[in-house]
Structure 1
C-alpha cells in the first residue's frame, strides 16, 4: 500500500540571544532586499523586452550581486533563505501568469512580514535542539507540543511579528498512526437536508469538500465525489427504479416495489453505492439526464484510493 505523506507546520515561540537576534534581523533585511531586486529585474525585463525571467536567472543575478562592493553584505548571511525567497517569487509569478493571483508586489520594511526560510541544508536538528546556519548555539525554543515521533523537519521558517515576538515554524511529515484496517464506507448527501441545509450552505460546500479531501489524504482514505446531477434522491435503492419529479418538501416516499424511503437516507445509500462502483471499476458515475442547458455535467473526481472510502455528492 502506498504511503501518504502529509506536511504539517508546527509553530513555536523562541527567545534568541542578542547575537542570534542580530543575525536574524540581518537575514530578514537581506531576504527583503533580494526579493525586491529580483522583482524589479523581472518587471523591467517584461516591461521593456516582454521577456520572462525565471528562477535560475535570478539565482545567477544573486551570485553577481554578492560580488559587488555595494551588495557584498549579502554574503554575510546564509545563502539558503536568499535562494528560498527567489523560489517564492518564482511561485508568485507562476500564479500570476496562470491568473490565480495578482502581480507580485514589493516588500515594505515596515509592513511586510519579517521572515526567513531555511531548508535542511541550512539547519541542524538533533535531540530536540535546532541550530540555524551561521549560528553557534541552538535556538531557545519553547516546545509547547512535541513534534510527531520519528519525523525530521524538512523546512524551518523563522519570523518576528509586529510586537517583536519571535517564532519558528517547523515543517515535517505528520502522517498519524493509522487505525486498524477497515473496509467501512459512508455516503453523504450535505444541502438537501431540510434541517441542515442553511448551515451547510453558509459553511460552503467548497470549503467542506476541501476539508474532506485533506482529511482523506491525511488518513490514507479515498474520497469519491459523485456527479451533482446523479439522481440519488429519486432512485430506489432497493429495486433501482427512477421516480419522476420529486419536490424538496417530499421527505419520504414509497416505491412501486413496496420499499418505503426516507429521502436523505435513500440518497446516502445510492451515493455510497455509486462511490463504491467508481472505486471498484474506475469508471465515472454519469447522470441519468442532462443538465438544464442540455450539456452533460461534470464527472466526479476521485482521490487515489487507500483503504476506507467515503462518497459525497455536492448539491446546488
Structure 2
C-alpha cells in the first residue's frame, strides 16, 4: 500500500474506495471485499446516507481479524446544513455512531457554502442559504481533533482563496483538500498550490462519469472512453481505468475511485506494477479541458460558492 504523508505526520493511503452513490444494499459487500484485497482507505460522507453499511463492513472485518483499526484510514464529511460551530461535533458523533467507530482518520468540510439547518439537503432556492462563515465551521472541526473524534481534519471543494483564509485563521492546519481531479480536469494549478502549503489533494471522480458523459449534453467525455487511452492501455496490458488512475497518482495525489463491482474494485487497486512513458503522460496532460462533472452550479450565487475562480 503506497501512502502520502500528511502535515501532521500521519499517512493517507494513495488509493481509496469511494462510496458516493453506492446503494446501501451494495456498499457493505463492496467495502468488505475492498478490505479483503488490501484497501485501507475508505471514503464516505454523512450526505451519502450509507455510513451505517460502511460501518457494518468495517466492524465485520475488525471482528474477523482481517485488519486492525489503526491500519484503516476512514474518511467522512460534514454536510452544508450543519456549518454552525455548535453543530460540528454533534454531527461527527452521529457519523461515528453510524460507522461504529470511536474516531475517524479524516473529517472534511464537504463544501465551503452553507445551507440553513432546517433546509433541504439540496435546496431549490436561495432563501435556504446560510451565510455562516466556514471559518466558524473550522473552529468546530478543530474541536473534533481536540476531543479525539478525528485524527485529522481537512477541506473539500475549497478554492485557493478559501484555503488561504483557513490557513490565516486556523490553529490546526488542514491536511487535505478533496476535489474533483481527472484528466479532463487535472487541477494541476490547485495541486501545486496545495503542495506548496503542505496540503495533500485527494481526487474524487478520478475516472469522470462515463455513463453521464455519454447521455448528458455538455458533460465532458470520460477519458476512459478515449480511443487513444484504450491504445495506451493495450500497450501495457492494462485497462483504460488503470491507465488513468496511474496517471493521476503521478501528479502526487491520492484518488478514491468508486465502484461496487468486485472486478473493478480489484482493477482500480492494481496500478503500481507499471509506469507510464513520457509520451503517454504527455497525451493524458493534453486531455485537460478544465471541465467539471461536479460543479454544483445551482448554488453559484452563494457567497461562498468556490468555483467562481479558476483554482
Please give the TM-score of this superposition, normalised by the length of structure 1: 0.19
- Higher relative helix content: 2
Larger radius of gyration: 1
Please give the TM-score of this superposition, normalised by the length of structure 2: 0.19
